[in-house]
């Protein structure tokens, strides 16, 4: 039997089919793969105003200086990195942060006046004859400090997860398949590290260039660096392919230092002026240096002055309490409303009650500021109220030692002649909130314009501590206007 050969059939290899498809795709897109047509698009961003969480607290501190009647002229020296790591750590931290401190000081406003430190500029002006020190503002205090710590490898933590699975061999006899198993691999790696930056600030007295006791801040901030790496791989009968992702994030050192500078400026200025600055930042603890000073000042007051301080605080908080220096029914009711469980037996001698009342003024600065304006108008006599707040007359001038002819002259005066009132001396002023009731020096001799009720008060029962030397909130007595009072004649 004759067997004829079968007609041979052309078989297409699966691998060849894939190769032909790739070549066809490359040929059709050859024009787009021309290296001479390379291009790149860059994003276009507009400038963005940088805002931090401490911009508002700094502005509120300026408003607080007006509410509590505090004022300071402050100058800043060069604030630099004292660790030396800014030059040997690839610029991880800035070497000079003077401009950051200037911006923070100037952002306070209110009754805080910032004076730049520029000895070279002043010296050049004097040499060239353009200007002298006339009209220049003299600071009260000088801010000095710098970066004192930068610990990069403070703590490093890492974790790693590795997973893989491989199937049993398959019975694959095709020559173009290099393997006969399927496998899956997964890997995840995380690493975190923390560094710490510390900033020290100190205050110096400008006249003596000595440090102001207990006026320093030491604040630290942690900055973090993290890296994550994930990888997923597949192996199917020999060929392998997979997915991999890596991310590395470093917290901005410069941005962290700016927050550190703003926090330290807020703290040291508030401490120097004895203000409840901790009310401006949530969860900040009260400053014991400030509280100790407020307690001491309150204990040194007379009984009438203590009552006047409490009444002034109550009035600023919204209670319609006249500042008379005497405990009356209105004052008792206001204290009971402010602090439930208040015991009237303690009265104005309760130092802790006063501290709580004094610090609570920082809870609502806008309300207190409005009430302070009303109090200032009442004192200045812009309206004739029936019972003016803090309308107690000034104390008469104390008797002075005079020579014999002068004594005879005084004896010949008419009995009804009244002595000239003398303004309260600046060195005996208190730092309590009753400073809001201070009138200008020209107002101390206006006894004839006082209401009848104010005139009938006993001079011994007046509250001299209510009439302070601090400025009253308003355009005419703001720091921008009062700054012109300072001259080089000092």
Higher pLDDT, 463 or 432: 432
Q: What is the pLDDT of residue 346?
A: 66
Residue 326 pLDDT > 60: yes
- Higher local confidence (pLDDT), 130 or 412: 130
Residue 66 has pLDDT above 50, yes or no: yes
pLDDT at 471 over 90: no
Q: Is the pLDDT of residue 338 over 70?
A: yes
Q: How many CB atoms lie within 10 A of CB 199?
A: 23
Q: Tens of pLDDT along 182-200?
A: 888 889 999 999 999 999 9
Residue 473 has pLDDT above 50, yes or no: no
Percent of the chain residues past pLDDT 70, beyond the cut: 66
Strand pairing class (211-236; 182-205): antiparallel
Q: Which of 137, 26, 19 lies closest to 72 in space, CA to CA?
A: 137
In this predicted model, what pLDDT tens digit does every residue of 365-393 receive, in sequence order?
A: 999 999 888 877 776 764 443 333 333 33
pLDDT digits (tens, 9 = 90+) for 123-178: 777 677 666 667 778 899 999 999 999 988 788 889 998 888 888 777 766 666 67
The DSSP code sequence of 26-43 is: HHHTTTTT-GGG------
Q: Specify the higher pLDDT residue, 262 or 401.
A: 262
- Of the given ranges (55-59, 108-112, 419-423), which has the lowest mean pLDDT? 419-423
Q: Taking 50 as the threshold, does the pLDDT of residue 468 lie above it? A: no
Predicted pLDDT of residue 31: 55
CA distances from 429 to 94, 303, 377, 398, 469 (A): 43, 16, 21, 17, 7
Taking only the tens place, the pLDDT of each residue in 252-262 is: 889 999 999 99
Q: Which residue has the higher pLDDT, 232 or 177?
A: 232
| Neighbour-count burial of 206, counting CB atoms closer than 10 A to its CB (0-12 exposed, 13-18 middle, 19+ buried) | middle
Confidence of residue 422 (pLDDT cuts 50, 70, 90): very low
**Phi and psi based region of residue 341 (left: phi greater than 0; alpha: psi -120 to 50; beta: remaining):** left
* Mean pLDDT, all residues of the chain: 74
441 or 143, greater pLDDT: 143
**Which of 156-165, 267-276, 347-356 reaches the highest mean pLDDT?**
267-276
pTM strictly above 0.85: no
Tokens of 490: 């000092």
The pLDDT score that the predictor gives to residue 148 is: 95
- 442-445 long-range Cβ contacts below 8 angstroms, 24+ apart: 443/379, 443/380, 444/394, 445/420, 445/421
């Amino acid at each position: 039997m004759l067997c004829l050969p079968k007609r041979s059939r052309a078989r297409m290899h699966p691998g060849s089919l894939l190769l032909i498809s790739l070549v066809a795709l490359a040929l059709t897109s050859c024009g787009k793969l021309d290296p001479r047509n390379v291009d790149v698009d860059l994003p276009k961003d507009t400038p963005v105003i940088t805002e931090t969480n401490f911009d508002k607290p700094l502005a509120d501190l300026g408003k607080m200086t007006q509410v509590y009647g505090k004022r300071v002229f402050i100058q800043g020296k060069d604030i630099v990195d004292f660790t030396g790591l800014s030059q040997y750590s690839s610029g991880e931290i800035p070497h000079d942060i003077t401009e950051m401190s200037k911006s923070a000081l100037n952002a306070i406003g209110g009754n805080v006046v910032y004076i730049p430190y520029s000895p070279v500029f002043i010296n050049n002006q004097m040499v060239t004859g353009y200007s002298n020190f006339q009209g220049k503002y003299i600071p009260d205090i000088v801010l000095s400090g710098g970066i004192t710590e930068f610990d990069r490898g403070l703590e490093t933590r890492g974790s790693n997860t590795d997973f893989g699975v491989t199937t049993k061999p398959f019975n694959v006899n095709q020559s173009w398949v290099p393997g006969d198993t399927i496998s899956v691999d997964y890997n995840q790696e995380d690493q975190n590290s923390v560094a710490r930056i510390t900033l020290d600030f100190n205050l110096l007295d400008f006249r003596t260039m000595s440090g102001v006791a207990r006026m320093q801040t030491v604040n630290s901030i942690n900055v973090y660096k993290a890296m994550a790496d994930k990888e997923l791989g597949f192996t199917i009968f020999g060929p392998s392919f997979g997915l991999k992702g890596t991310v590395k994030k470093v917290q901005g050192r410069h941005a962290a230092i700016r927050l550190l500078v703003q926090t330290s400026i807020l703290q040291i200025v508030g401490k120097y002026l004895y203000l409840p600055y901790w009310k401006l930042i949530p969860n900040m603890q009260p400053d014991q240096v400030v509280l100790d000073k407020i307690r001491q000042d309150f204990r040194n007051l007379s009984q009438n002055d203590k009552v006047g301080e409490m009444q002034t605080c109550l009035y600023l908080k919204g209670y319609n309490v006249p500042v008379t220096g005497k405990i009356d029914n209105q004052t008792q009711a206001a204290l009971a409303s402010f602090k439930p469980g208040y015991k009237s037996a303690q009265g104005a001698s309760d130092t802790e009650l006063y501290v709580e009342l004094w610090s609570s003024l920082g809870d609502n600065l806008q309300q207190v500021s409005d009430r302070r304006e009303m109090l200032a108008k009442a004192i200045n006599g812009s309206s004739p109220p029936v019972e003016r707040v803090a309308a107690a007359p000034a104390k008469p001038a104390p008797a002075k030692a005079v020579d014999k002819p002068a004594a005879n002259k005084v004896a010949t005066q008419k009995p009804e002649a009244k002595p000239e009132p003398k303004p309260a001396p600046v060195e005996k002023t208190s730092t309590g909130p009753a400073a809001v009731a201070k009138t200008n020096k020209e107002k101390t001799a206006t006894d004839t314009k006082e209401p009848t009720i104010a005139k009938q008060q006993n001079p011994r029962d007046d509250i001299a501590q209510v009439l302070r030397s601090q400025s009253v909130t308003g355009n005419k007595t703001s720091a921008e206007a009062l700054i012109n009072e300072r001259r080089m004649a000092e």
